[in-house]
Amino acid sequence: MTDGGARTAIAAVTSEFAEFSFADTGPEADYGDGPLTWSGYTEQRARARTRSGESESVVCGQGQIGNQPVVLVAFDFRYIGGSLGQRAGTRICRAFEIARRLRWPVVSLISTGGSRMQEGMRSLLQLQRIARQLQLTRWEGLAHIAVLREPTTGGVWASLGAGADIVLAVRDATVAFGGHRVQPPGGADGPEFRSEGKFAAGAVDAVVDQATLPHTLRHVVELLAPTGAAPVQPATVPRALGRQDWPADGWSAVQRARAVERPRADAYLDDYFDHVFEISGDRAGGADPGMRCGFGRRDGATVAYVAQTGTANTPAGFRTAARLIRLADQLRLPVLTLVDTPGAANDAAAEHAGVGSALAELFGAVAAVDVPITTLVIGEGGSGGALALASADRLWITPDAYFSVIAPELGAAILKRGPAEVEHTANQLRLRPQDLLELGIVHGIAGEEPID
């Protein structure tokens, strides 16, 4: 069931709202039957105005979410199914132009059936116009957050919705490129066509209940508020939460890093941040719970983070990490990475999903950004799956971690050594924190206090 319309959606998330005036788009009477002279289109729009109280399918204006002013774009499904025509496209484009001029984030509250057939290709071309506005806004370092309401389908989902920096979806909303009427019989009833299915497939960052949406949206908007022009300061190195003594030999370092009682990413994130918002998914069909990505508040400032949780990460995890790092660069936010993985997944599924190209994408993202990246190895630092997250100039390690070109067992196997020689191989690899410091691989060993 659809919600109460554009203004109801706006009122639910804002403390104040002022609609933009689009007088130069021309009065509705001048629009006639549209570019295709579609018979009855004038009457359809008249009925839509009566039903919705709106002059178009989108309402655009400025509002306040928490302590952050924003530009809002809200769809009203009661107006011809929230469909996108020329006039609606123009309003959306102008709303983004205003956002760039004011340097405010954009929040899109979407409920739509897609492009408006009565305007033909003139309607479909709005997707290109909107895509251009999204890119221009991204280049300006401003965030765009989309909220997918019931329903969100068609070209608007494939442009304004899926093209947002952060995508929130109301629980159980229909989210699909093809709506119910264009799907094969029974096809659109599966989970793939709803919010939860899109989250599982990596296309949505979070599924939220209608009641908690205002709080979640405020949280996200305030975390991603535009930054000033001052240079971005690196994130402080987290304090070490585990053992403070250094391991006696290489194999001891490996065992300590693998110990069940060693503090993991969740402990470090809880200790470091006041609160966080996590993103999810690679936008290409996958999500990896072993790669935690998001934004957190520390000492009143936002820091982006990527934290491995001790598992062998999948291609989806590496692509999500790359997405997070590129977004942090766009928003001029420092990045903290926590390394803890035995290595990248190397099974058949990982190879099929392109683990090599996913790692290359992440290496490239880390190398390309202008914002500083701070890395702390908190557990296992296994090969390229760990190095892909490592900063080139701010790399630290805890006393109960190691970093190695390969796991000792795998290294011994490659060298045709038996199990009895694994410990010796670990020592030869010089993977202890103090070895890495002496070799110039890491810049320091973290202690009990954070490092500026």
- Let me know whether 310 and 392 are in one domain: yes
Which of 223, 242, 274 lies at the terminal end of a domain, its last residue?
Answer: 223
Single-letter residue type at 437: L
- Let me know whether 131 and 263 are in one domain: no
- Let me know whether 411 and 263 are in one domain: yes
Report the DSSP pairing between strands 68-75 and 58-65.
antiparallel
Alpha-carbon dihedral sign for residues 283, 284, 285, 287 = negative
- Let me know whether 264 and 217 are in one domain: no
Task: Identify the H or E element spanning 427.
Answer: helix 422-428
Token pair recorded at residue 273: 């941040």
Within a domain: residue 30?
Answer: yes
Token pair recorded at residue 122: 């003139």
Within a domain: residue 241?
Answer: no
Alpha-carbon dihedral sign for residues 252, 258, 261, 267 = positive
Query: By the 8 A CB rule, do 141 and 97 touch?
Result: no
- Let me know whether 219 and 254 are in one domain: no
Cα–Cα–Cα angle for 434, 440, 442, rounded to 5 degrees: 65
Using the structure block, give the residue that is written with the tokens 């080139």: 392
Task: Identify the H or E element spanning 324.
Answer: helix 315-331
Using the structure block, give the residue that is written with the tokens 């490996």: 254
Within a domain: residue 230?
Answer: no
Q: DSSP readout, 185-233?
A: TTGGGSGGGBHHHHHHTTS-SEEE-TTTHHHHHHHHHHHTPPP-SSPPP
- Let me know whether 96 and 208 are in one domain: yes
Within a domain: residue 329?
Answer: yes
Token pair recorded at residue 4: 């109460």
Single-letter residue type at 114: G
Task: Identify the H or E element spanning 154.
Answer: helix 154-156
CA atoms of 325 and 80, how far apart (whole Å): 39
Maximum CA extent, the chain: 86
Q: Model confidence over 50-87: pLDDT tens digits? A: 999 999 999 999 999 999 999 999 999 999 999 999 99
- Let me know whether 149 and 200 are in one domain: yes
Residue 188: per-residue pLDDT: 58
Secondary structure of residue 350 in the 3-state scheme: helix
Query: By the 8 A CB rule, do 188 and 153 touch?
Result: no
> What's the CATH number where 362 sits?
3.90.226.10
- Let me know whether 357 and 219 are in one domain: no
Give the CA count within 13 Å in the CB-facing half-sphere of 65. 29
Token pair recorded at residue 316: 């989806």
CA atoms of 8 and 292, how far apart (whole Å): 34
- Spacing of C-alpha 272 from chain mean position: 20
Secondary structure of residue 271 in the 3-state scheme: helix
CA atoms of 10 and 13, how far apart (whole Å): 6
Single-letter residue type at 111: S
- Let me know whether 363 and 441 are in one domain: yes
* Contacts for 44-48: CB closer than 8 Å, 24+ residues apart: 44/80, 44/118, 45/80, 48/78, 48/79, 48/80
CA atoms of 399 and 263, how far apart (whole Å): 12
Within a domain: residue 1?
Answer: no
- Let me know whether 377 and 275 are in one domain: yes
Within a domain: residue 228?
Answer: no
Cα–Cα–Cα angle for 416, 401, 302, rounded to 5 degrees: 135
Cα–Cα–Cα angle for 81, 112, 151, rounded to 5 degrees: 105
- Let me know whether 210 and 336 are in one domain: no
Closest listed residue to residue 46, CA positions, set 64, 20, 63, 27 = 27
Domain that holds residue 139: 6-223
- Let me know whether 268 and 162 are in one domain: no
Query: By the 8 A CB rule, do 95 and 47 touch?
Result: no
- Radius of gyration for the alpha carbons in the chain, expressed in angstroms and rounded: 25
Q: Model confidence over 238-277: pLDDT tens digits? A: 999 999 999 999 999 999 999 999 999 999 999 999 999 9
Token pair recorded at residue 143: 């965030």
For helices 315-331 and 355-368, angle between their N-to-C axes, nearest 10 degrees: 20
Ranges of the chain with pLDDT below 70: 1-3, 23-31, 179-188
Report the DSSP pairing between strands 395-397 and 402-404.
unpaired
Single-letter residue type at 160: L
Residue 260: per-residue pLDDT: 95
Within a domain: residue 233?
Answer: no
Closest listed residue to residue 414, CA positions, set 398, 429, 403, 433 = 429
Which of 207, 223, 239 lies at the terminal end of a domain, its last residue?
Answer: 223
Within a domain: residue 238?
Answer: no
Work out how many domains the chain is built from and give that number.
2
